[in-house]
Amino acid sequence: MRAPYTESEYVCSPLASRADHPSSDRPTVATVDLNALTHNYREVARRIGDRKVLAVVKAQAYGHGAIPVSRRLVELGIHMLGVALVEEGRDLRDAGITAPILVMAPVFPGQAEVIVSAKLTPVVYTLAMTRALSDVAAGTGRTLGVHVKIDTGMGRIGLSPEEAVDFIAAVGKLPGLAVEGLMTHFADADLRDKAFARAQMDRFESLIRSLEAKGITIPLRHAANSAAVLEYDRALLTMVRPGLMLYGYNPLESGVGADLRPVLSLVTRIAFVKRVPAGVPISYGRTFVTKRESLIATIPLGYADGYSRGLSNKGEAIVRGVRVPVAGRVCMDMTMLDVTDVPGVAEGDEVVLIGAQENERITADDIAARTGTIAYEVLCGISGRVPRIII
C-alpha cells in the first residue's frame, strides 16, 4: 500500500495506486482540483438534508482518478462509494480505503470469493449469484451486506418489482447475507418531463410498501442520481447516488439548479509553430487547407489521449486567452491548431483543451456538443496515458 497522495502530486495513470514512483515530464496533463470536488459535494449535501451519500467513483471517478477522489470524499463524510467492477473496488481496498463500496454492475459467481475477501457490497438480482455469495460468506463466518437491484423501467439489470418480494424473502433466509439496500435506476430523470421518472418511482414505492406489509424494512433505499438530486426531491429516499455533479457538470436538460465547478482541466503545450502560405493542406486527408498565410501550431495530444477524432475541424483550444480552431484531422498523438490570430504565440505556450485561461473557458459539455455525445463520455475517455495531477 502506498502513502496518501500529497498536493500537486503527479499520477501517471488511472491505476496510479499501483505505481511506486508516479512522475511525468510530459506537457500533456489532466489537472484534478480536489477543492472543486469538495465544493460540489457540499452542493449535494445542501440539497439532501440528513440523507446518506453514495458517491459514484466508477470508471476511475469518471476519468479523474478513483483513489485520490475517493480519499477526499471519505474525508468529507460520504457513507459509501460506488464502483462498476469488482476490480475497481479491489483497487480502492488495496489503496487503504475502508469505506463501504457498492459494486453496481453485474458480478458473477466466480467473483464471490474476491467480493467477500475485499469486503465489497454487491448488487444482486439472481439467486445463482446470491447463493454463491452466501456459500463463501457463510464459510468464512462473515455477514455480507447486499443491495437488491430493481428494474422499474431502465430495461437493464434487475428484478421486476412484482418478483422482488419473494426474491428478497428468499435472500433473507440465506446464511451469511444481509439485505441492507434496495435500489433502482432512472432512465431519463435528466429530462424536463418527469412523467416516466414518476412512473418508475410509483413502482419502486409500491414495492417498498409491499415489503413493509410483510415486515421487511430495508434501511438503504436509493434511486436518485445527479439529475434527481438536482431536480426531483421525491427520489431522495434514504440515500442518494451523485456522480456527474460531483465532477462539476449538470446533467439536466434544463441546465439549471446548481453552482457546480468542473474538477478536471486538460492542458498541453505547443510543440512546434510554422508559418505557411495560403493553399497548404494540413493533416490526414487534406480536409483543412489554409485560406491565407497562417501560423499552424502542433500540440502533442491526439485521439489516443482521448481527444476525439470527431473534433477534427470542429474543436477549439485556448492559447494566450484566445480561442483557436483545430486545423485538419486530429491524429493519434498530435493535433494542429490555427493560431494565426494569437499575438505573440510561441512554442512552449500553454494550450487549454478543457478548462479556463484568462477570460475563456472550454468545458466537457462544449466538446460533447461538437462531437454528438455527453460530458460523461468526454471525461471518461481521457486516456490513461495522460498524467493526472492532483491539487
Domains with residue ranges and CATH for the chain = 34-247 (3.20.20.10), 264-390 (2.40.37.10)
Candidate from 3-7, 25-29, 39-43 with smallest mean pLDDT: 3-7
Amino acid code (one letter) for 201: M
- Cell 493535433: give the residue: 335
Total count of residues recorded for the chain: 391
What is the per-residue pLDDT for 77?
97
- Give the pLDDT confidence score for residue 22 in this predicted structure: 47
* Whether residue 19 has pLDDT greater than 90: no
Nine-digit cell at 39?
465544493
Q: List, for residues 69-86, the tens digit of each pLDDT value.
A: 999 999 999 999 999 999
Q: With CA atoms as reference, report the closest residue to 161 among 202, 219, 118.
A: 202
- The reported pTM is 0.92
58, 149, 247, 307: the catalytic one is 58
pLDDT reported for residue 155: 97
Average pLDDT on 109-121 reads 97
pLDDT one-digit tens code per residue, 337-382: 999 999 999 999 999 999 999 999 999 999 999 999 999 999 999 9
Average pLDDT of the segment spanning 179-193: 96
Q: Please give the mean pLDDT across all residues of the chain.
A: 93
Q: Residues 233-262: what's their mean pLDDT?
A: 93
Local structure of residue 304 (DSSP, 8 states): G
Q: Which three cell numbers, joined as nine digits, stand for 260?
A: 457546480
* Rounded-to-integer distance, Cα 304 and Cα 333, Å: 6
Q: What is the pLDDT of residue 1?
A: 30
- pLDDT tens string 279-314: 999 999 999 999 999 999 999 999 999 999 999 999
Nearest Cα residue to 244 out of 363, 366, 376: 376
Average pLDDT over residues 15-41: 75
Would you say residue 13 has pLDDT above 80? no
What pLDDT shows up at residue 24?
A: 57
Buried b (16+ CB within 10 A) or exposed e, 234-250: ebbbebbbbbbbbbbbb
**pLDDT at 10 (0 to 100):** 43
Position 253 confidence tier, pLDDT thresholds 50, 70, 90:
confident
Per-residue model confidence (pLDDT) at position 21: 34
What residues contact 95, with CB distance under 8 A and at least 6 apart? 1, 2, 17, 67, 70, 71
* Tally of CB atoms within 10 A around 178: 14
**CA distances (Å), origin 158, targets 121, 122, 150, 204, 370:** 16, 13, 5, 12, 34
- Residue 391, number of CB atoms within 10 A of its CB: 13
157 class by beta-carbon count within 10 Å (0-12 exposed, 13-18 middle, 19+ buried):
middle
Does the annotation count 303 as an active-site position? no
Beta bridge partners of 183: 149, 222
Any catalytic annotation for residue 58?
Answer: yes
Is pLDDT at 99 greater than 90 in this prediction? yes
